[in-house]
């Protein structure tokens, strides 16, 4: 499903969001959905066991340049989501994106235009744009 029409999604979110249309509901539902993403990742490790998380200090040699840094950084995740966990994570991410879209709608922010601007910024500044 490439080239998903973000504009269509933004319109659908506007059409179906009825009960939680207040900015207060949108902000708190967005925060709640973020917590559910964290919980789903944690449960994949602690309940299902399809992934393992090994939080540890990043080991970076002293003489590494910033442009080489990526190859030394670990994500601390071993394994892959099983089908059940992947479905749960995708659901929670979709809900999060739903409320993020609702937030954009409240402030008349077009997601496609916003991401196009950000994409240009990333292309221009590259990895140095995120410092």
Query: Residues interacting with Zn ion, by CB under 5 A?
Result: 44, 48, 50, 82, 85
> What sign does the CA torsion over 5, 97, 115, 110 have?
positive
Helical pair 83-106 and 23-43, crossing angle rounded to 10 deg:
160
CB of 93 to Zn ion, least distance (A): 15
Task: Report the distance separating Cα 47 and Cα 9, nearest Å.
Answer: 33
Based on the number of CB atoms within 10 Å of its own CB, is 51 exposed (0-12), middle (13-18) or buried (19 or more)? middle
Whether the CB-CB separation of 104 and 27 falls below 8 Å is answered with: no
CB of 90 to Zn ion, least distance (A): 13
Whether the CB-CB separation of 127 and 67 falls below 8 Å is answered with: yes
Nearer to Zn ion, 33 or 44 (CB): 44
């Amino acid at each position: 499903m490439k080239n998903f029409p973000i504009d269509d999604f933004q319109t659908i979110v506007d059409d179906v969001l009825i009960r939680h249309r207040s900015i207060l509901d949108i902000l708190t539902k967005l925060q709640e959905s973020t917590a559910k993403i964290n919980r789903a990742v944690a449960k994949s490790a602690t309940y299902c066991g399809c992934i393992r998380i090994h939080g540890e200090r990043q080991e970076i040699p002293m003489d590494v340049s910033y442009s080489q840094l990526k190859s030394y950084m670990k994500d601390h995740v071993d394994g892959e989501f099983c089908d059940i966990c992947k479905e749960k994570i995708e659901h929670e991410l979709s809900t999060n994106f739903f409320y993020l879209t609702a937030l954009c709608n409240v402030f008349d922010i077009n997601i496609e235009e916003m991401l196009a601007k950000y994409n240009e910024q990333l292309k221009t500044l590259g990895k140095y744009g995120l410092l």
